[in-house]
Structure 1
Amino acid sequence: MTTTVSKRARALLAGAALLIAGAACAQEAGADSGQSVLIRNANVYTATEGAGYLEEHDVLVRDGKVAAIGRGLSFPGVPVVEAGGRPLTPALFGGITGIGIEEVSGEDRTTDNALTLGADDKHMVVRPEFDVTLAYNPDSVLVPVTRVEGIGFTLLGAGSRAGGSIIGGQGAVVRLDGGPDPVGPRVLFVQLGSGSARLTGSSRAAQWMLLDQLIDEMRGRIAPDSRMALLTPAGRETLARYIDDGGRVMVGVDRASDIRQLLRWSKRHGVRIAIAGGAEAWKLAPQLAAAGVPVFVDPLANLPSDFDHIGASLENAARLHAAGVQVAFTQSGDASHNARKIRQLAGNAVANGLPWENGLAGLTRVPAQALGVDDRVGTIARGMVADLVLWSGDPLEVSSVAEQVWLGGWAIPMRSRQTELRDRYLAPKPSAESGDLPRAYPAAVR
């Protein structure tokens, strides 16, 4: 069977060859220069506020950080990658996921993002001190699968199963550079609405009662040895960091009436919240903007799939942005194994009224700011960590691909388990006569 290679495919292959050659030069130059590279003639989307687009500019990376941005840059001994006018962006945000704490979502023994305690409904166990980052595995198969798609950081989410509580626990941002530790402050996860009513006596009204009780207990209005007490000493100490010390609380909520109560509750107790989901958030856009609450939306959550999504709209992100709300992106469903689709979500938000530059910001600067890691990731600026992606075309188009990813200035191998399986099974069928059978093949091929 003859394979026809299109002009576009040839161009992509040629670009990949240039990038591979650049990486090889970096290795030959020695370990110190491995974090240094000069990317020439790129259309640079810095994702910074203000002038975020620089046409045909160079980006010089030294010691893992952006050293200069301009035209005609040079630096002796630094490997050069010719971008040829292709887009260069910061590495993208993968959304709220379980990357590194979940391998197979359907196999409980490989998932560590949820706590199951106190299955007896008569005794709810609340453990805000539960921290999923302690289970993070930087060698997870999902890490290279995700980062070859141009994604450089994600927020590890914490949730609850049966026997848990509406307070799922803590997560944090991790960079997908192979490092074992989070790069920013912890985030406390709370889940509200009809989906969590089973954890609060089958009524969403009880969620506010329990949240108020937890704050009373944390502030000493309920004695630790009281029969009403729900928190451990560590739990009270952890909760205080989010209620009194300004830590970020990520609240999963969709229905407008629940969001309204959330705004009142957070103002009453001085809680610094962000919203994940927010299918009906557009109905309260001015109030969210006034309160400075960022919203992590799923732009494809546009159907009345349940009674919390009756007002779901494809224009959710655009309407929130128009009102002054900071909009970032996350996705529903199996986000860990499909993080690459988050670009499609942002592209759909742009197709439904969100300005393009704000679509990119929702994958870069906005989540970095909301999660307290904007000093490390999310923009291309002098002094920032060089987490960069060179794209074949518009990064919000699904037809574009990440041609090269740099994390901390290192050119990341553009390989993953998925690409290796693809290459193996698309390769010409080996023969026993050739003697080049892979290990997994039998001695004879029939």
Structure 2
Amino acid sequence: MNLFNGVSRRPRRLLLAAGLMLGLPVLPLQAQDLLIRNANVHTASTQGSLPHHDVLVRDGRITAIGSGLAAPAGASVVEAEGLPLTPALFGGITEIGIEEVSGESETNDSAVSLANQQPMRPEFDVTLAYNPDSVLVPVARVGGIGFTLLGATTGGSFVAGQGGVMRLDGGSDPIGSRVLFIRLGAKAAELSGNSRAAQWMLLQQMVDEARGRMPADSPHALLTAAGRRTLAAFLDGRGRIMFEVNRAADISQLLRWAAREKVSIAIAGGAEAWRVAPQLAAAKVPVFVDGLADLPSNFDQIGATLENAARLDAAGVAVSFSQFSDASHNARKIRQHAGNAVAHGLPWEKGLAALTRVPAQALGVEDLIGSIAVGRQADLVLWSGDPLDVINSARQMWLGGRAIPMRSRQTELRDRYLQSPRPRDQGGLPPAYRP
């Protein structure tokens, strides 16, 4: 529905300006036919990089990639002048849209913490709380971020709950299957009787309940009826289970458990994953690493190294990136993680794929996003230079072929406070009162 039907031109501009000042994701309402001409097209696919190529977009999808493409009548034409064009980037595992102010609990919806002795709640789904009008959405888009994995975090249980892939296009529904988040290791020990060994005991009991190997009415049951149904679906392969785990020994234990239960898993963190890289490659388990983890922040990360991503990739592991500290407010820093990994041995093309195609494949949405290919959603970013070098920035983003306003609450504040002070006789403050 066109929100501006019957609205005069000036009020429409005022509404747009008001939305931008509030940091709201005000988007063009219809995808216009688009021709991006003479770009260095990094497809993040088997086609690799295509210098001096054009990309044609119709009805929100890529319809042609080549040289000398003709623009359809009425299409918008962008002269890229050889600048890099990539798929919209993956922002990592974040709480964008379910967290607004980190220190204000009423704005955070990523964790469930019910009464003491609560059963585990895998049925908890954070995507139901997603707010597409969050001020963090345009902040991320200005940094070239077009999609993220919305993650559940641990509250009263080391089984955090479900999340899903969100395109930051103003829509409120996730794409693809849900992802179940479980935390293992030292950080979750206090939620499992102060022992990581108890995590496996409790996890196995939940599996037995979900698979009907334990009476549902047992007084010692950990799962509700909804929880049993939810976990059973993941055990049957209808969604991936994401384990946040870092220690090599814990990862080895996890791989044995996943093989025994025939479960589709992924790893988040994986500070010591490089130590078991061949086993991860054989099991085809993708790993979302912290590209800046180079020192042990706890005893689960003694083997942390900046070469983690490069060593995993060399062994044949599918590698992506995620931040594990303030990721929602700083999603743009994900490029630094990839660039840092490239500086420490990861091939450049693999670094870009780690922010585009690899997470899309790992999360089951590769048919929609993650690469520049005919038939894909036109989620694209034109950069001022190498996107893995933080000195460069996103010039323009398109999501579903729609040009995204490259403004956010942060850019509005920047522009406001970069203005020269007004003289006092024009309403400005005297110098003594200026910060």
Cα distance between partner residues in 2 of 1:179 and 1:434: 43
- Aligned equivalent of 1:144: 138
Q: Which residue of 1 aligns with 2:20?
A: none
Counterpart contact for 1:246–1:271, Cα < 8 Å: no
On the 8 A contact 1:128/1:168 being kept in 2, the answer is yes
Q: Do 1:126 and 1:230's aligned partners in 2 also have CA atoms closer than 8 Å?
A: yes
Pick from 79, 83, 86 the counterpart of residue 83 of structure 2: 86
Partner of residue 383, structure 1: 375
Tell me how far apart the structure 2 counterparts of residues 214 and 268 of structure 1 sit (CA, whole Å): 15
How many pairs align? 404
| Matched residue SS, 2:138 | helix
1:44-193 equivalences in 2 (<5 Å): 44-48=41-45, 50-75=46-71, 76-118=73-115, 120=116, 123-161=117-155, 164-193=156-185
Moved over 3 A (4+): 431-435
- 1:35 deviates by 2.6
Distance apart, 1:433 and its partner CA: 4.6
Give the whole-Å Cα distance in 2 for the aligned partners of 1:413 and 1:124: 45
**Residues in 2 aligned to 1:65 and 1:432: alpha-carbon distance in whole angstroms:** 53
User: Which stretches in structure 2 are left out of the alignment for 5+ residues?
Assistant: 1-27
Aligned equivalent of 1:228, options 220, 223, 247: 220
Partner of 1:406: 398
Show the 5 A alignment for 1:184-333. 184-333=176-325
State the shift of 1:124 in Å.
4.4
Quote the Cα distance in structure 2 between the aligned partners of 1:382 and 1:433: 59
Correspondence for 1:3: none
Mapped to 1, the partners of 2:38 and 2:237 lie a distance apart of 45
Shift of 1:434: 4.7
Counterpart secondary structure, 1:172: strand
Equivalent in the alignment of 1:9: none
Identity %: 68
TM-score by length of 1: 0.88
Question: Aligned partners of 2:405, 2:29: CA distance in 1, in Å?
Answer: 16
Partner of 1:18: none
**Are the aligned partners of 1:117 and 1:125 in contact in 2 as well (CA < 8 Å)?**
no
Higher relative contact order, chain-length normalized (CA < 8 Å, sep 6+) = 2
Pairwise CA distance, 1:432: 5.8
Conservation of the 8 A alpha-carbon contact between 2:41 and 2:52: yes
Whether 1:336 and 2:332 are equivalent positions in the alignment is: no
How far has the Cα of 1:227 moved from its partner?
Answer: 1.1
* Cα distance between partner residues in 1 of 2:206 and 2:77: 56
- Offset at residue 225 of structure 1 (A): 1.4
Q: Secondary structure at the match of 1:425?
A: helix
State whether residues 279 and 312 of structure 1, in contact with CA within 8 Å, keep that contact through their aligned partners in structure 2: yes
- 1:401-438 Cα distance to aligned partner (Å, 9 max, x none): 00000001011001000000000000122346557x8x
Give the secondary-structure state (helix, strand or coil) at the position aligned to 2:327. coil
Amino acid at match of 1:398: V
Please tell me whether the aligned partners of residues 35 and 408 of structure 1 are also in contact (alpha carbons under 8 angstroms).
no
SS in 1 for 2:175: coil
Q: For 1:160, what is the secondary structure of its paired residue?
A: coil
1:375/1:384 contact within 8 Å kept: yes
State the Cα RMSD in Å.
1.6
Q: Verify the 8 A CA contact 1:46 1:52 in the aligned structure 2.
A: yes
Q: How far 1:31 sits from its partner (Å)?
A: 6.8
Q: CA separation in 2, counterparts of 1:136 and 1:375?
A: 23
Measured against aligned partners, the alpha-carbon deviations of 1:193-243 in whole angstroms (never above 9, x if no partner) come to 000010110000011111110011111122121111011110000001100
The question of whether the paired residues in 2 share the 8 Å contact of 1:131 and 1:171 is answered with: yes
